[in-house]
Structures are given as C-alpha cells and as structure tokens.
Structure 1
Amino acid sequence: MNLLLINPNTSQSVSDLIAAEARRAAAGDTRIEVLTAPFGVAYIETRFESLIGAYAAATLVAEHHARHDAIVVAAFGDPGIDGLREALDIPVVGLTEAALMSACLLGKRFSIIAISRRITAWYRECVQANGLLERLASIRSLEGPLKDIGSVQDDHGERLEALCMSAVEDDGADVIIIAGAPLAGLARSIKDRIPVPVVDGVSSAVCHAQTLASLAPAPARRGSFAPPPVKPNQGLPDALSRLLARDAGRA
C-alpha cells in the first residue's frame, strides 16, 4: 500500500515529524511518502491560512496522486479535504476527522490540545462541522508566540502535558486529542503519563487511510461528492487542469 501525506504548511521540520510518526503507525508493508507545500505559511493558524494550505495541498495532490492508494491531508483542520474527495477516486483522510473518529471510539467526551489560542476558534468550528460539538469537553492551548514550529514539543513539552492533565481533571475529558502536525508523535511519548487515552492525528489518519484503502470503496458518481462538472477554466497549473479534465470523464 502506498500512502501520500501532504503537509499544507511550508515547514520541512514539521514534515519530518509527520513522516516519523506516520512510519511508526503504518503497517510493515505500507510505503509512506510525505510532501511539503511549495508555497504558503510556516504553519496554519487561521481560516485564511487554511485556504492557502488547501490550494497548496490541491496542487501537490494533482501532481502526485496517481501512484498512491490513499491521501492524508496532514494538517489539523483538514484544509481542502472535501474538495479533494470530489476530485479523487481514492480515499482522502484528514488529521481532524481521523482523530475525532478515533476519540469517539475510545470515550464519550474529548478535549483538544492546541499549539496556540488563535487557532482554537477554528478548531471548534471543525468539531462542529463534524457534528461532534456536544462531545467536546474543552480546547486548551499554549499561550504566546512560538519560537520554532519544528521544536514546539521540545520547547513546551511540560506545558503541553500539563494541559492534558487539566483537560482530564478540570474538564472531564475521557480522551485527549493532541492537535496539529507540529505535535505529531507527542501522544506516543506521553500516553503512559496521562490517565486517559491520548490520540494523535497523524497516526490516526494513517491507520484510517489504510483501512479505507483496504476496503476499496467505489468512488462517488452521484451525490455531493461526485466529480466536478465540466466547465471552462484558466490560469490553473497543468496538473490541476489535467485532474479536472480527468474528473469530467468520470462523471
């Protein structure tokens, strides 16, 4: 099985964290490829930055999807995921949806641990969009600017662990979701010190992507995830134009 993980951020250090956790979580015969956005922002923190990340992800997917069995959008918030599902015949999985689904299988109420306060409103909207707002116990976050997005775990490890404990003790969380690609692998390293299950978005997404690819579902031909309709376009990268033309033939 071949999985393509797209980092919609431009930080190679974050892609390295994604790749390491993805390979730890993947089955022995699963091949992992991780690509980093060629343009955009160092890390997505706002709705507008998510729009940029979604377009960056779409360009990479259009160029590289053909040789893979499933795609993972490796940013919490799942930028562009629904559009990519319209365009592709293979499963597309995001960190948010995957982590939420894993958490719901492990407990009733979950808390999300985030890297910044600014990001929390958007994360709450993502939970609501997935129909799970009533199961959200809390979103707790780091405060203040980040020195280096690739070293968040090293710089703030103790504080992140304390936020997890507060979510359990003060907010009644049954499960903790460690949010965001910069925190990939943290759940694995602290899970024995947290008294409830701790879920990682990257490992959840890889495992769910493997499952969906193994199930080999038929792609949508009707409904809201049918391929985009035929229409004129201009100014798009060649790979995106080819993908749209291919989609027109699938409809």
Structure 2
Amino acid sequence: MKLLIVNPNISTSVTELIEAEARRSASPGTALTLRTAPFGVAYIETRAEAAIGAYATLVELAEHHAGHDAAVIAAFGDPGLAAAREMLPIPVVGLTESALMSAAQLGGRIGIVAISRRIRAWYRETVDACGMHSRLASIRCLDEPLADIGSVQRDKGEQLVALCRAAVREDGADVLIIAGAPLAGLARQVAERIPVPIVDGVSCAVRQAELLAGLAPRRASEGSYAAPPTKACQGLPPALARLVGREGHDNENEEGNS
C-alpha cells in the first residue's frame, strides 16, 4: 500500500513531524510519500489561510496522486478535503475528520487542544461541518505568540498538557484530540499524563487511509461527489486542469481505478 500525505503549510519542519508520526503509525509494508505545500503560510489559523492552503493542497494532490492508494490532507481543519474527494480517484482523508471519528468511538464528549486562539473559529466550523458539534466539549488553546512552529511541542509542552487536563476537569471532555500538524506525535508522548484517551490526527488519518484503501470503495459516478463536469478552464497547473474540467478526465479516472 502507498499513501500520499500533503502538508498544506509551507513549514518543512512540520512535515518532518508529520512524517515521523505517520511512520510510527503506518502498517508494516505501507509506503509513504510526503509533500509540503510550495506556497502559502507557515501554519494555517484563519479562513483565508485555509483557502490558500486548500488550493496548494489540491495542486499537490493533482500532481502526485498517481500510483498511490489513498491520500491524507495533513492539517487540522482539513483544507480542500471535500474538493479533493470530488476530483481524485482514490480515497482522501483529513486530520480533523479522522480524529473526530476516532475520538467518537472512545468517549462521549470530545475536547480539542490547539496551538492558537485565532484558530478556534476555523476549527469550530470544521467540527460543525463534520456533524460533531453536539459532541464538542471545548476547544482550548495556547494564548501567546509562537516563536517557532516546528518547536512548539518542545517550547509549550507543559502548557499543552495543562490545557488537556483542564479540558477534562473543567469542560467534561471524555476524550481529547491534540489538534494540528505541528503537534503530531505529542499525544503519544503525553498519553500517560492525561486521565482520558487522547488521539492524534496524523495517526488516525494514516490508519483510516489504510482502511479505506483496503476496502477499495467504488468511485461515485453520481451525486455530489461525482467527478467535476468537463468544462474549459484557464491558468490552472496542467495536472489540476485535467482533474477539474479538461478533456481526458474520464480516461484518467478509469486509469486511477484500474
């Protein structure tokens, strides 16, 4: 099995964290391809940044999905996830949806711990889009500038643990999600210090991508996740243009499903 993992942020240090946790989580024999967004921001906090990250992610997925069995969008908030599912002939998962679905099987109320206050609105909207708003206990977050997104685990580890404990004791969380690619692997490190189950988006997404690839679901030919209709487009990278409207779209889908 071969998985394509795209970091929608431009931070290569974060991609290294994602890769380390993905390799710890993947099944023996699963091969991983890691890609970092070639443009965008260091880490996504706002809706505008998410839109930019979504476009960068779609470009990377279009250019590199061939030969892979499934893909992972490795940013909490899942920028471009629904669009990627429309256009790609392979299953695509995101960190938020994967973590939420996994957490829901471990407890009733779900707490999320994140890296910045500004990020909360986008995360809350993503939780709502996943249909999990009624299960959300709280979103707690760091409330100070980050000197280096690649070292946030080391720099803010104790504060993040304190936020986890507060989410349990004060907000009633039954299970926790450590949110965001910059925190990949932290749940594994602090699990014994937290009194409830704690999950990591990267590990959940890798496992669910493997599961979906193994199930080999049929590609939708009707409904809202059918491939985009053929139409003229302008200014798009060729690989993306082939997937979202140019001639040859149907042939590419057939090759991807063979």
Q: Alignment identity in percent?
A: 64
Aligned-pair CA distance for 1:144: 1.2
Quote the residue 1:222 is aligned against: 222
1:50 matched to 2:56? The reply is no
Q: How does 1:223-242 map to 2 (within 5 A)?
A: 223-242=223-242
1:129 matched to 2:160? The reply is no
Aligned-pair CA distance for 1:242: 2.3
The answer on whether the counterparts of 1:109 and 1:135 sit within 8 Å (CA) in structure 2 is yes
Distance across 1 between alignment mates of 2:152 and 2:76: 15
Distance across 1 between alignment mates of 2:65 and 2:58: 10
Quote the residue 2:249 is aligned against: 247
The answer on whether the counterparts of 1:228 and 1:248 sit within 8 Å (CA) in structure 2 is no
Distance across 2 between alignment mates of 1:11 and 1:181: 10
How many residues of Structure 1 are paired with residues of Structure 2 in the alignment?
A: 251
AA at the equivalent of 1:131: G
Aligned-pair CA distance for 1:67: 1.2
Distance across 2 between alignment mates of 1:153 and 1:54: 25
- Which digits, 9 at most, give the CA deviation of each residue in 1:82-107, with x for residues without a partner? 00100011100000000000000101
Report the 3-state secondary structure (helix = DSSP H, G, I; strand = E; otherwise coil) of the residue aligned with 2:100. helix
Aligned-pair CA distance for 1:227: 0.4
The answer on whether the counterparts of 2:62 and 2:88 sit within 8 Å (CA) in structure 1 is no
Quote the residue 2:143 is aligned against: 143
Distance across 1 between alignment mates of 2:249 and 2:137: 40
The answer on whether the counterparts of 1:17 and 1:185 sit within 8 Å (CA) in structure 2 is yes
Distance across 1 between alignment mates of 2:4 and 2:192: 30
Quote the residue 1:103 is aligned against: 103
- Which digits, 9 at most, give the CA deviation of each residue in 1:138-185, with x for residues without a partner? 000001110000000000000000000000011110000000000000
User: Structure 1: which 5+ residue stretches go unaligned?
Assistant: none
- Which digits, 9 at most, give the CA deviation of each residue in 1:105-142, with x for residues without a partner? 10110100000000001111111111111110000000
Distance across 2 between alignment mates of 1:242 and 1:86: 13
Q: Which has the higher mean CA deviation after the structures are superposed, 239-248 or 67-76? A: 239-248
The answer on whether the counterparts of 2:22 and 2:202 sit within 8 Å (CA) in structure 1 is yes
The answer on whether the counterparts of 1:87 and 1:247 sit within 8 Å (CA) in structure 2 is no
TM-score between both structures, scaled by the size of structure 1: 0.98
AA at the equivalent of 1:189: Q
The answer on whether the counterparts of 1:113 and 1:164 sit within 8 Å (CA) in structure 2 is yes
Q: How does 1:71-82 map to 2 (within 5 A)?
A: 71-82=71-82
AA at the equivalent of 2:58: A
Distance across 1 between alignment mates of 2:62 and 2:229: 17
AA at the equivalent of 2:11: S
Distance across 2 between alignment mates of 1:47 and 1:248: 32
Report the 3-state secondary structure (helix = DSSP H, G, I; strand = E; otherwise coil) of the residue aligned with 1:188. helix
Report the 3-state secondary structure (helix = DSSP H, G, I; strand = E; otherwise coil) of the residue aligned with 1:63. helix
Aligned-pair CA distance for 1:230: 1.0
Distance across 2 between alignment mates of 1:172 and 1:247: 49
Aligned-pair CA distance for 1:241: 1.7
TM-score between both structures, scaled by the size of structure 2: 0.95
Distance across 1 between alignment mates of 2:195 and 2:144: 27
The answer on whether the counterparts of 1:229 and 1:248 sit within 8 Å (CA) in structure 2 is no
AA at the equivalent of 1:110: I
Quote the residue 1:92 is aligned against: 92
Report the 3-state secondary structure (helix = DSSP H, G, I; strand = E; otherwise coil) of the residue aligned with 1:90. coil
Distance across 2 between alignment mates of 1:224 and 1:45: 28
Q: How does 1:4-83 map to 2 (within 5 A)?
A: 4-83=4-83
Aligned-pair CA distance for 1:239: 1.3
AA at the equivalent of 2:222: R
Report the 3-state secondary structure (helix = DSSP H, G, I; strand = E; otherwise coil) of the residue aligned with 1:220. coil
Distance across 1 between alignment mates of 2:233 and 2:125: 31
Quote the residue 1:165 is aligned against: 165
